[in-house]
Structure 1
């Protein structure tokens, strides 16, 4: 089972140009708000029509601009879990699920099985407005699976939820999707959510997709600024490679790399947790002024300015344990290990 997507779509001044493949797996589409993730899902589902390209699911062509094929949504065998679940408001839970069952002869049995599996028996005769957020999500997912889809699209399923409820529903969704044997596209802008739920990820930045990679590669070895930003990196500076070092003009720093930078590198990223207090003589050590201290529940964030930095240079963020005892320092010698420098395009 697999999904192949190669499509282009213009919406006003926005240009979508994405291509990726997904197999029998949860594949994350990760990107900032407005980058084109939801537009991609709507094109796959048949809600929007691409301008050019091709979409193939398990060997069946859903869309092909050259062959003039464009299957309507109801023939694409795709289940779409919208952000607000899109339940029929005037139908009960039982009726919402029944509406998705294709085989009329098995409708009653299928609804009974889904009510039991999704723990909805006690609310089967309630309407969506009478349900909790978790019950609404389970009803929407039960309805999707009752249609026996070849693929499921999850469009930021927890974006409207806060803290505790979000955690609970994420655990429930993981459990309920575990038996599903098809492709799952999981759209998110939350790197933690992606890390917990997917093994591979396709980053989308300003309408353009980047090559699919493992989640581990994204978080440990991002290759572009967009990927590093989405993986949680917060410190960036333009870089000039010089042999096995990089010169960062904004901070007036020369830092040693673990290996000579490959061609095309023009930026360096440094994760806040990988900056650390240094001792004199340590590799890549440089003095900084402590500009601001931010105390959180579990960590202390120091905003630093390298002493030789340009006036308009961005501040460096360094995260330490709350009990580090360095919050009252005015100046600090810090370092980043060569293997922790992110060499980016």
Structure 2
């Protein structure tokens, strides 16, 4: 089972240009708010119509601009879990679940609804309406309705965006258990990198309407290729660089210094990414020493965030961010000088 998407749609000055494939797996579309993730889902579901392109699900053409094919949302069989679940407010849980059933035979319909009620642990809630349900119960009812329709794909549009962290964690675990036996394509839309890393096998980064190549989740977080993907993966320090005359050594003009890398570098300008937790206090044997002045100290929940100015850096150069567990931090006042280092293998080479 697979989903193939290639579409373009313009909204004023914004151009959505999405292209990816999803097999029998959970694929994340990861991007900042407004990058086009939800619009992509709406085009797949048939709620919005692309200007051009082609969408194919399990060999069925859902949309083809050249062949004038544009199936209705009902005919596409894509189960769409909206951010607010979109349960019918005037219907009971039983009626909401039954509304997704395609079976025409009454006994078959009733049996399927009963199965969904049991499967999603909705027993005893059948007569209640959405406003009488907790967030978790609403989510289970919405998923039961989706599964009752026997979807060929499941589309999850930021399912936890409006929840507090504790409830989000509970529902995330429940959702993962409900989806793990599903044999089909699952698209998971999110701007939360932790959520994506925990639940998805592959990820497609999106930036300003454009998709990047699909990659395994671990690979994107370990070695992002572009500046936008690095930012989405949580990299806080990104600086412009250029190749030097020395092998695998990059010049960083804004810092007025060079850094030794572990990979062959592009021949033109590029960027370097340094994760805040990869910086450490230098020893005599370390390469890439960075003498910095401590400018700001911020206590986070379980870590300390240090903002540092690299010695010799230009005035407009951004401060370097370093993070460490609180128990490893030996308090020092702002204005102190620290010598840090970054291992060559921890430096990201970015387009």
Shift in CA distance, 176/253, structure 1 to aligned 2, threshold 3 Å: same
**Paired residue for 1:80?**
80
CA drift of 1:217 comes to: 1.1
TM-score normalized with structure 1 length: 0.98
- Matching residue within 311, 326, 337 for 1:307: 311
**Paired residue for 2:302?**
298
Q: Is the 8 A contact 2:242 2:268 kept in 1?
A: no
- Matching residue within 186, 210, 225 for 2:188: 186
Measured in 1, the distance between the counterparts of 2:143 and 2:206 equals 26
Matched residue SS, 2:196: helix
**Residue by residue, what CA displacement relative to the aligned partner does 1:135-160 show, whole Å, maximum 9, x if unpaired?**
00000000000000000000000000
**Paired residue for 1:257?**
261
Matched residue SS, 1:104: coil
**Paired residue for 1:221?**
223
Alignment of 1:145-184 (within 5 A): 145-184=147-186
**Paired residue for 1:324?**
328
**Residue by residue, what CA displacement relative to the aligned partner does 1:86-132 show, whole Å, maximum 9, x if unpaired?**
00000000000011111132111111111111111111110000000
**Paired residue for 1:48?**
48
Q: Is the 8 A contact 1:201 1:212 kept in 2?
A: yes
Measured in 2, the distance between the counterparts of 1:69 and 1:265 equals 44
- Matching residue within 290, 312, 328 for 1:286: 290
Q: Is the 8 A contact 2:304 2:329 kept in 1?
A: no
**Paired residue for 2:109?**
107
Q: Is the 8 A contact 2:80 2:155 kept in 1?
A: yes
**Paired residue for 1:20?**
20
TM-score normalized with structure 2 length: 0.96
Q: Is the 8 A contact 1:300 1:327 kept in 2?
A: no
- Matching residue within 329, 337, 342 for 2:343: 337
Measured in 2, the distance between the counterparts of 1:263 and 1:119 equals 58
Query: Greater shift after overlay, 102-111 or 179-188?
Result: 102-111
Query: Greater shift after overlay, 246-255 or 187-196?
Result: 246-255
Measured in 2, the distance between the counterparts of 1:112 and 1:244 equals 63
**Residue by residue, what CA displacement relative to the aligned partner does 1:221-262 show, whole Å, maximum 9, x if unpaired?**
100000000001000101111241111111222100112213
**Paired residue for 2:134?**
132
Measured in 1, the distance between the counterparts of 2:326 and 2:158 equals 32
The alignment covers a number of residue pairs equal to 345
CA drift of 1:45 comes to: 0.3
Measured in 2, the distance between the counterparts of 1:287 and 1:42 equals 50
Measured in 2, the distance between the counterparts of 1:265 and 1:198 equals 33
CA drift of 1:75 comes to: 0.3
**Residue by residue, what CA displacement relative to the aligned partner does 1:195-242 show, whole Å, maximum 9, x if unpaired?**
001111111110001000111110111000000000010001011112
Q: Is the 8 A contact 1:265 1:343 kept in 2?
A: no
**Paired residue for 1:67?**
67
Measured in 2, the distance between the counterparts of 1:57 and 1:7 equals 14
CA drift of 1:263 comes to: 4.5
CA drift of 1:327 comes to: 2.8
Measured in 2, the distance between the counterparts of 1:9 and 1:264 equals 32
**Residue by residue, what CA displacement relative to the aligned partner does 1:241-296 show, whole Å, maximum 9, x if unpaired?**
12411111112221001122134551001000001000245200010000011112
Q: What runs of 5+ residues in structure 2 fail to find an aligned partner?
A: none
Hey, which bits of structure 1, 4+ residues long, moved more than 6 A? none
Matched residue SS, 1:211: coil
Shift in CA distance, 251/326, structure 1 to aligned 2, threshold 3 Å: farther
Measured in 2, the distance between the counterparts of 1:136 and 1:41 equals 21
